[in-house]
Amino acid sequence: MTIQVDGIAGFAYLVSIGEHELVVDQPIEDGGEDLGPTPTDLFVAGLASCAAYYAGRFLARRGFTTESVKASCRYRISPERPARVESIEVALNLPGGLSDEVRAAALRAAEHCTVHNSLAQPPEVSISLEVLEAVA
C-alpha cells in the first residue's frame, strides 16, 4: 500500500490512501487552520478503529450484529522529549446481550488488531529525503 501526502497550504496536507482522501492539519492555536484531524489524532484513531474492527469481525463471524460496536479513545502526549504519544486508552462498547465469554473473546480479538500488534512490536521505520527540482 502506498500513501501519498501533499502539502495544501500552511500546515494542512492532503492524504491520499488508495481511492480515499482526507485532510490533516493543526489546530488554530498551533498555527493551523483546523481543516482536519492532526496526524497524531489520525494515528490514535487508527488504533481505535482497528480494535473496533477486530472485535466486530469476531462478533460477525459468530452471527452477532456489528452495527452497535463502538470505540472511544483518549490519548496523552508526553511532556518530555522526544515528542510522542505517552498513553492511549481505548474503550470498546459492544452490543448488549452477549455472554461474558463472548465479550472477553471479542476483547482479546481487539487486543490483537494489526495496529496494536504494530505498536507492541514496532516496525522498522525509515524516513528519507528527496529534493525536488526548483520551480522557476
Q: What pLDDT is attached to residue 33?
A: 97
- pLDDT tens, position by position, 86-120: 999 999 999 999 999 999 999 999 999 999 999 99
pTM of structure: 0.90
- pLDDT tens, position by position, 32-50: 999 999 999 999 999 999 9
Q: What is the CATH number of the domain that holds 74?
A: 3.30.300.20
Nearest Cα to Cα of residue 27 among 10, 43, 15: 10
Query: Residues 75, 46: one domain?
Result: yes
The structural domain count of the chain equals 2
DSSP 8-state code for residue 30 = G
Query: Residues 67, 110: one domain?
Result: yes
129 assigned to some structural domain: no
Length reported for the chain: 136
Query: Residues 30, 46: one domain?
Result: no
Pairing verdict, β 70-77 and 20-24: unpaired
Angle between helix 100-111 and helix 39-61 axes, rounded to 10 deg: 140
* Separation between Cα atoms, residue 81 and residue 91, nearest integer Å: 27
Q: What pLDDT is attached to residue 136?
A: 64
Supply the range of the domain harboring residue 25. 1-36
Query: Residues 43, 71: one domain?
Result: yes
